[in-house]
Structure 1
Amino acid sequence: MILSPFEWTIAKRYMLPGRGEAFIALVAGISLVAVMLGVAALVIVMSVMNGFRAELFDKIVGLNGHAIVQAYGGRLDNWRDVLEQVKATPGVTRASPLIEQPLLGSLNGRVEAVYARGNTQEDIQRIKPKVQTGSIAGLTPGSGNVAIGSQLAQNIGARVGDNITIINPQGQSTPFGTVPRQISYHIAAIFEIGIYDYDERFVVMPLEDAQTLLLAGDSIGMIEVQVTDPDNVQAILKPVKDKLGGQAVVTDWKTINASLFEALAVERVAMFVVLSIIVLVAVFNILSSLIMLVRAKTRDIAILRTMGATRRSLLKIFVTIGFIIGSLGTVAGLALGMVFLFFRQPIVHGIELLTGQNLWDPSIRFLTELPSRSDPVEITTICVMALVFSFLATLYPALRAASTDPVQVLRYE
């Protein structure tokens, strides 16, 4: 919609009302701020929700793979053959043996529930970027070295160089009953994955040491698998599932974390709908300000009509005024949202200092920091939605202005 110089001049004049029309300007300013806050809220919340899903997916899958192959009974004896079958499956990028068993960990009289996790040397190297203190270079078979999560280290007061005792209740049988198996390990490194539950429980050790601890012989607990397309993991691993029917079960990340990711998906949709209503309410302010402007300018509109202004020109003028208010609010909201997301962690800390409340408890939120990941398509959708709402809000007052009858308005002038 291209405006002529005359139409653009009138539009600029009406967007900057005179002294006697300060209230109209105030309502228009409130409309702009309302649209800005609505768009900013949508951008912030949707980016944070996307960040939640992406961070959880990256960290959970990065540690556990896209799927696991686990034998019935928890022990996979012919795991080398199964491992080769899985690796040979088209679409599988990585497959490695894994042992993961809930046990007890003890240090200086403090006892915590832990997960003893036996990994290959290749998989152990994958947590190297997550190491806070110490080094995982010493985590070799038979070394007696382990790496533990940061929150677990805090709970039991452990530091690099201490010895943690892992207790396996399924120990050796004696004439006096079963004696729990206790093995002391040297803490060589402390890591932080970024997921509270993992950092609070995991004790990582070489696969061979985990087999010795659990008296598992040459068997393992499961095989973790990564594929080229995580969303299509079920179809990729269907041949494996068919071959291992009756021997092992194949469980993908969607099933393992179904409740968590489904809850995030539902919450994401609900938040989008609710915050879209906020934008809609903000757009009604544009509608009300334009209606007030049309009523205040009725005499001017009638004079313009008598001077030759067409209905189409008046329609374009008032649509432009409302659309510019909505556009400025949308751009300002987008900028405000991006600034908030960039400084999100300092803002959270600042609010915590002001209120004295812990707004981000990792034990509840899963992640140690507020995540964010902006989706360009989603942000474009938000901006387009705000602009469309703004345009629709201008139609009624613009049509009212265009239908003004100059004879009726100027009859008694």
Structure 2
Amino acid sequence: MINYELFIALRYLRARRRQAALSVITGIAIAGITLGVAALIIAQGLVKGFRNDVQEKILQGTSHINLLREDNGGIENYRELIGRLSRIPGIKSASATMYNPALLSIGDRQEQSVIKGIDTIIPDEIEDLRQTMIEGDLTQILSQSTPPEQETQNTADAIILGRHLAEILGLKINDKLVAISAQTRLTPAGLQARPRYTTFRVAGFFSTGLYEYDSRWAYVSLAAAQRQLGSGNTAGVIQFKVNDIDNVAEMSRKLLKEAGAGFMTTTWQELNRPLFAALQLQHRLVIVFFGLLIAIAALNIITTLTMTVIEKNRDIAILRAQGATPQSIRKIFMLQGLVIGIIGSSAGLALGLTLSRLANHYQWISIPAEIYSVSHITLKLSSIDCAAIVGFAVLICLLATLIPSRTASRISPVEALRYE
């Protein structure tokens, strides 16, 4: 059975015709909470979705942990080292690779690029690239088994380029291009660098959706990358994927302990720390901003309850005269504010979730890929996020009732009924 405090609180929410102004203010309070909660839900989904999209795109093109020599030299025994390190619990896959900065040239067009050599005997490496391929034949890279010590005489090694990089250079399948990279050698005069020219044949294009990769990166076989640098059968980096991407720091320590002296590691978090720090700051600012909007909207509850106290002064006095305690009077007005908060928060939750789903379905939020690395944002929300936002809004509304309810509980029945 409903208690009388809640019954009276609900009656006060249904203002009579002569109290139309009170009804309008109550409606404004509910609308303010609704819009504030909906805006905070959308903003939370937007920021979290953008971060997740960027992180997902980054992890498509990079490993979780990189192991390399401290002196930046080549890793000669990389096959044996990979076999040993792969047995560490938590390691999902390991492969050797090389990163070769190069200037790609065709005709009078040139563009800076990073050429990555992928180990074609590692299934995960091939599958990651296969999932992003949009045109061409990946098997042309897989079939390149010529040892790195041997130069290919009559055929150019195959290369797969990012979609935007290919557009910049105006490349098509089977076109040939020249990669110009720097090769250093030790001479009596010290280290000297000389350009090394390598011809590649375009075998395909990939698209990760991350502009930074699609406009800069290209893939060749590990053997082709070794030939390009003239490094012999060595690897520049051993890259790892782990089961828990948030536990890369601990996994790095285990890898260094097992690998021995002379090695260092970098993780995907370290390489992208400035980006994710900026996104985290943005997230906090958005939460604070829209949280303040909800708090401002809750001020209407103070106005609503204050006007209700003034309008219901006589009713409160009668209740007190009939034995209602100050605590009961306070409870009536706190329940009234709480109901406003629950109605507004529930409506805001429904509105926010509906708009978020429509935005995802129709891809309403499109952004310049060349600036933000992704072409559109997918809003992502969890049940915990929604519950926290609704709980925060209801709490703010409840706090807004403290002053008016305290004022109502202090009304003296004698003073209020003296002139009635």
Query: Where on the TM-score scale, by shorter chain, does this alignment land: which range?
Result: 0.7 to 0.9
In 1, the alpha carbon distance for the partners of 2:26 and 2:253 equals 59
Q: CA deviation at 1:73?
A: 2.1
Q: CA deviation at 1:222?
A: 0.3
Match of 1:104 in 2: 103
- Which of 157, 171, 174 matches 2:170? 157
Q: Contact 1:172–1:179 at 8 Å: present in 2 too? A: no
In 1, the alpha carbon distance for the partners of 2:201 and 2:325 equals 87
In 2, the alpha carbon distance for the partners of 1:345 and 1:54 equals 14
Q: Contact 2:294–2:393 at 8 Å: present in 1 too? A: yes
Match of 1:42 in 2: 40
In 2, the alpha carbon distance for the partners of 1:328 and 1:135 equals 57
Match of 1:391 in 2: 398
Residue identity in the other structure for 2:401: T
In 2, the alpha carbon distance for the partners of 1:339 and 1:74 equals 55
Change (3 A) 1:179 1:321: closer
In 2, the alpha carbon distance for the partners of 1:179 and 1:82 equals 31
Match of 1:181 in 2: 197
Q: CA deviation at 1:254?
A: 2.2
Match of 1:401 in 2: 408
- Which of 364, 369, 372 matches 1:362? 369
- Which of 312, 320, 330 matches 1:315? 330
In 2, the alpha carbon distance for the partners of 1:255 and 1:7 equals 57
Match of 2:75 in 1: 76
Match of 1:191 in 2: 206
How is 1:5-404 mapped onto 2 (pairs within 5 angstroms)? Answer: 6-71=4-69, 72-121=71-120, 122=123, 123-142=125-144, 144-170=157-183, 178=194, 180-186=196-202, 188-307=203-322, 309-344=324-359, 349=364, 360-404=367-411
Change (3 A) 1:105 1:255: same
Change (3 A) 1:385 1:65: same
Three-state SS of the structure 1 residue aligned to 2:34 is: helix
Q: CA deviation at 1:248?
A: 2.2
Q: Contact 2:159–2:200 at 8 Å: present in 1 too? A: no
Change (3 A) 1:184 1:235: closer
Q: Contact 1:89–1:237 at 8 Å: present in 2 too? A: no
Flag structure 2 segments of 5+ consecutive residues without an equivalent: 145-155, 187-192
In 2, the alpha carbon distance for the partners of 1:197 and 1:303 equals 72
Q: CA deviation at 1:39?
A: 1.6
Residue identity in the other structure for 1:118: G
Across the aligned residues of Structure 1 and Structure 2, the Cα RMSD in angstroms comes to: 2.6
Paired residues, number: 399
In 2, the alpha carbon distance for the partners of 1:282 and 1:183 equals 65
1:185-207 Cα shifts (integer Å, max 9, x gaps): 12x32221121111111111221
Residue identity in the other structure for 1:391: L
Change (3 A) 1:395 1:75: same
Q: Contact 1:141–1:207 at 8 Å: present in 2 too? A: no
Q: CA deviation at 1:94?
A: 1.0
Three-state SS of the structure 2 residue aligned to 1:219 is: coil
1:189-245 Cα shifts (integer Å, max 9, x gaps): 222112111111111122112212222211111011122222222222323313545
Three-state SS of the structure 2 residue aligned to 1:148 is: strand
Three-state SS of the structure 1 residue aligned to 2:172 is: coil
Residue identity in the other structure for 1:120: D
Q: CA deviation at 1:100?
A: 1.4
Q: Which moved more, 1:117-126 or 1:312-321?
A: 312-321
Q: CA deviation at 1:161?
A: 4.2
Q: Contact 2:302–2:400 at 8 Å: present in 1 too? A: yes
Change (3 A) 1:345 1:364: farther
Q: CA deviation at 1:178?
A: 4.3
Q: CA deviation at 1:310?
A: 4.6
Three-state SS of the structure 2 residue aligned to 1:223 is: strand
In 1, the alpha carbon distance for the partners of 2:107 and 2:314 equals 87
In 1, the alpha carbon distance for the partners of 2:17 and 2:161 equals 69
Residue identity in the other structure for 1:138: Q
In 2, the alpha carbon distance for the partners of 1:162 and 1:337 equals 50
Q: Which moved more, 1:16-25 or 1:319-328?
A: 16-25
Residue identity in the other structure for 1:48: L
1:295-351 Cα shifts (integer Å, max 9, x gaps): 12212322344455554443333222211111111112222222232233677758x
In 2, the alpha carbon distance for the partners of 1:102 and 1:128 equals 23
Residue identity in the other structure for 2:273: A
In 1, the alpha carbon distance for the partners of 2:216 and 2:118 equals 15
Q: Contact 1:141–1:206 at 8 Å: present in 2 too? A: no
Q: CA deviation at 1:396?
A: 2.2
Q: CA deviation at 1:133?
A: 2.7
Percent identity at matched positions? 30
Residue identity in the other structure for 1:152: L
